[in-house]
Chains A and B, each alone.
Chain A
Amino acid sequence: MGVWIVAGAAFREAVRKKMVWMALVTGAAFLILFGLGMRFQTKSMARAPSLIRGQVPNALLMVGLYAVDLLTMVMTVLASSDALSGEIASGAIHAVATKPIRRSELLLGKWLGYVGMMSAYLAIMLGGVTVIAYAASGATALHLASGAALIWLESLLMLNVTLLCGTAFSTLTNGVIVLGLFGMAFLGGWVEQVGALTRSVHAVDVGVIASLIMPSESLWRRAAYDMQSPVVGALRLSPFSNASVPSHTMIGYAAVYLAVALALALRYFGQRDL
């Protein structure tokens, strides 16, 4: 019961602080721009050879999905980085943590609130991009469900790591750490792709190690691999290149990683002095 009360408060906070509305307004602006871009591009390709005419909208759809992925991850971190550390710093946590509610319920309630918001945001943005791409050009993502599930897992990963760091660090430090890890994984992913193209084993290893430290990029790469057409995947140096595709083992590792991050967050928050 306490979990749902706290989850409701987390959601209401996002609405009251206009976070939800701003995310929807900027998301709508993004979707409008994406729709216009798709429309104009499709029109300008009317006389192009059929192979190119067929694949450019697919590539644009992947660009749109990539932007949705980035936006969702950044939004997840920005929204949740203050969830614990902010309340600990202000002392607001004292009034809640002394009520008949377990600390685990308090943390899981916040987690649930953010998962709900992040899932709704992802569903709207992902749905918007795929519907607009189809309406404008007929382009579709190949395995949209599995791709969407992987992006959702990636945002869960970001949320859990943010909550874990929030049990120990201030809001700003928390944001710096999690976005730093995200950036490192992003860079590691590129190094791995380039390494795969140039057959540099060490460069691939660097990418794998980066993914082991923070498997966010692996989840995106796998999602991109699942959703894209083979021709788009063959674009060598792109955010959705399939030069080096993350294995199922790596996806399993990411799932375990995010579960462990949440378990550790529960453990540390349960034990720490407030």
Chain B
Amino acid sequence: MASTCKSSGSPAIQTRFLRKLFGEKVAVKSLTLEVSPGEAFGFLGPNGAGKSTSVKMLLGLVTPTGGEARILGFPAGNVEARRKVGFLPEHFRFYDWLSAEELLLFHGRLYGMAGSELYRRVPELLELVGLAPHRRRRLRDFSKGMMQRIGLAQALLNKPDLIILDEPTSGLDPAGRRLVRDIIKAERSRGAAVFLNSHLLGEVEVTCDRVAFIKHGEVIETRSLQPNGENATSFRIRAGNLRPEMLAGLERWAKGIQLHDGELSFSVISSESIPEIIRYLVAGGANVYEVTPQHLSLEDLFVQIVGPDGGL
């Protein structure tokens, strides 16, 4: 994992108004997003929101009805783009008559890897995903978790600049899930962008830099998950001399405003409005002692943004 990405400087993923219709049914309404090189990006949304179709459009498996998608600067689906992309499909399935080692050799050859490189890389990856003792075992004898592990290995063969993981922890035990987390971190520090489509919000929360929430086939919100408070949408202010009539003026920045025992709590759309709120309170005569961002778990955020019904 020592090598670094040779990124051209183009965004890893860039889509503009990407759209897909299946007959009359709108699978993806208008997807616009951008993922930077070296960024771990979570793609979240309820069932039927259009996540899988979006992933397939990025990879050229599904032809968009409209809009534009570029991968590493190439049009989505371009053969050259795929040379630098690793993909783990949801519920990885492959020819069950192959052994784990043969599967990786086959995919490595499809990537155009030379013999010496391939024969060095394959044992390295089998070791990484914990399948080295099973390298000669046929896939038909593999458990679901083992299939996900070998699927993950084939997605890393070419030391990709962009790794797209569709529900990578599906079927994995806790050790397997930790492995996925470690691999995502290692790939990110190598400089690869990771696009993670997962239902397990806890996994996304600990691995991703940014997330997009998709609902009814379009991105409804993009959030940073950096641990610097930028993500916090709720704040608590401990202050003296807070008068109830000041609360109405806060509504231009905040919502859900409550005042209890000298403690003001509220949510803001952007944390950039906090200095203005403080200036407003101080100008109104309040004595501000403490401003505390309230951490929202990704699950809370998901429910807040997508809605408790999951957008169904």
Contacts and interface: CB of A to CB of B under 8 A. Distances in A.
Contacts of B85: 98
Contacts of A274: 56, 61-62
A22 interface: no
A273 B89 CA distance: 15
Nearest to A4: B109
Interface stretch (B90-98, B167-175, B221-229): B90-98
B87 A95 contact: yes
A90 B93 contact: yes
B59 A9 contact: no
Nearest to A17: B97
| Interface SS of chain B | loop
B106 interface: yes
B89 A5 contact: no
B62 A13 contact: no
Contact of A95 (B80, B83, B112, B154): B154
A100 B82 contact: yes
B60 interface: yes
Interface in A84-98: 90-92, 94-98
| Interface SS of chain A | helix
A102 interface: yes
A229 B59 CA distance: 58
Interface residues of B, number: 28
A102 B79 contact: yes
Contact of B83 (A5, A92, A94, A100): A100
Contacts of A54: none
Interface residues of A, number: 23
Contact of B106 (A9, A17, A91): A9
A37 interface: no
A274 B109 CA distance: 22
22 contacts: A5-B106, A5-B109, A9-B106, A12-B97, A13-B95, A16-B98, A92-B94, A92-B95, A95-B94, A96-B110, A97-B60, A97-B61, A98-B89, A99-B107, A99-B110, A100-B79, A100-B82, A101-B110, A271-B63, A273-B62, A274-B56, A274-B61
Interface of B: 56, 59-63, 79-80, 82-83, 85, 87, 89, 91-95, 97-98, 106-107, 109-112, 151, 154
Given A95-B92, A96-B107, A100-B110, 20 more contacts: A1-B112, A9-B95, A12-B97, A16-B98, A91-B89, A91-B93, A92-B93, A95-B94, A95-B107, A98-B89, A100-B79, A100-B80, A100-B82, A100-B83, A100-B112, A101-B79, A101-B82, A101-B110, A271-B63, A273-B63
